[in-house]
Amino acid sequence: MKKILCSLLVFAALCVPASVLAHPPSDIKFDYNEKEKMLKITVVHGSKDISKHFIDTVKVSIDGMELVKQSFMSQFNDKGQEVSYIIVDVKLKTKVKVDAHCSKGGDLTREIAIK
């Protein structure tokens, strides 16, 4: 019984560091240039190893309709993921929703209305 309990404790101790390092994005920032119809999105997500722990998916919805779903194999830099899209259908008060997912687990969703 002691061997089983000891084995479980060792296994749990080995699993903890991986789960501590994983975290969802901390913020999503938007910048829309009306003249160029360019939507720039910055997903804030710090990582020491952007090839293994990174934002792997970004989804963009406009007024409830999913327009973009992009997958990544690494992160733009150690501070986060950056993407830009030309979206011609954006008008005043259009609701833009962004969902970002971390490769190690965790999601963040933010929504803004274009001003």
* Options 3.40.50.300, 3.40.50.880, 1.20.210.10, 2.60.40.730; CATH of 23-113: 2.60.40.730
Task: Provide the residue-wise pLDDT of the chain in tens; the chain has 115 residues.
Answer: 666 655 555 555 555 454 455 789 999 999 999 999 999 999 999 999 999 999 999 999 999 999 999 999 999 999 999 999 999 878 888 999 999 999 999 999 999 998 8
Q: Which residues contact 110 (CB under 8 A, 6 or more apart)?
A: 27, 28, 30, 97, 98
- Give me the residue spans of the domains in the chain: 23-113
